[in-house]
Homo-oligomer: A and B are copies of this chain.
Amino acid sequence: MGARGRKKGSDGEKSRKLMLQIAAEEFALNGFHDTKISNIVKRAGLTQPAFYLYFSSKDAIYQELIDQFTYKLEELVGISRLESNVTFDTLAERIGVGLGAIFTFFEQNEYLAKIAFIHSDNSSEIKEKLAAQIAENLRIEQRYSYFRSDVDVMIAAQLVISALERLSLAYLWTGEKTAKEITNETVQIILNGLIKKR
């Protein structure tokens, strides 16, 4: 990406990042309509023209935040896909590493996650796209015989997405539980189910 317009170099890039960071907080707390560019630049100690050096509009900075979030999330989902050589005994642990990285990302990026997953008009599409990617992982992992073949992977993927959203809202962003705690519980339930075997 890099800074556009006149002001280039590391100072410009710093201003750009600062505005993105402040904008994320403003959008998440006040919503798109009640967020003012004037407030973002004021909090960043910059001027209105400085904003337009880096972003063409409020829409543009909003979209960039969503793109930043979904790009990184898709990367983490990609990394979380299990290889063909995972042993049965380490399966839960390996899934925990992948899911844990995603919960940690949500923990550390509360504002971005809220914008993309909850506030955005495109949040449904964002979640659908992510669900499709997770389902594709599960389909491949099913072929490696890690998962039961009678499971509808698309439904399972939707359950993962919804768990991410709900558990982040109820525990992560309230500070009640850590990403690690939530990950362990979620993996146990989704992997082994609730039933007590006879």
Q: Could you tell me the distance in whole angstroms from the C-beta of A92 to the nearest C-beta in chain B?
A: 8
Pair A148/B196 contact, Cβ less than 8 Å: yes
Q: Could you tell me the distance in whole angstroms from the C-beta of A128 to the nearest C-beta in chain B?
A: 7
Q: Could you tell me the distance in whole angstroms from the C-beta of A145 to the nearest C-beta in chain B?
A: 6
Give the residues in chain B near A79, CB-CB below 8 Å. Answer: none
Counting chain A residues whose Cβ lies within 8 A of the other chain, the interface size class is: 35 or more
Q: Is A84 an interface residue (CB 8 A)?
A: no
| A162–B148 alpha-carbon span in the complex (Å) | 23
| Nearest B-chain residue to A159, judged by Cβ | B163
Residues of A146-198 whose CB lies within 8 A of B: 146-152, 155-156, 158-159, 161-163, 165-167, 169-170, 182, 185-186, 188-196, 198
Question: Quick one: given A162-B166, A169-B124, are A189 and B146 in contact (CB under 8 Å)?
Answer: no
| Nearest B-chain residue to A118, judged by Cβ | B118
Pair A195/B91 contact, Cβ less than 8 Å: yes
- Which of the listed residues A138, A149, A159 has the most CB atoms from chain B within 10 Å of its own CB? A159
| A198–B189 alpha-carbon span in the complex (Å) | 18
Pair B147/A189 contact, Cβ less than 8 Å: no
| Nearest B-chain residue to A148, judged by Cβ | B196
Q: Could you tell me the distance in whole angstroms from the C-beta of A35 to the nearest C-beta in chain B?
A: 18
Give the residues in chain B near A195, CB-CB below 8 Å. Answer: 91, 146-148, 191-192
Q: Is A71 an interface residue (CB 8 A)?
A: no
Q: Could you tell me the distance in whole angstroms from the C-beta of A170 to the nearest C-beta in chain B?
A: 6
Q: Is A116 an interface residue (CB 8 A)?
A: no
| A191–B91 alpha-carbon span in the complex (Å) | 19
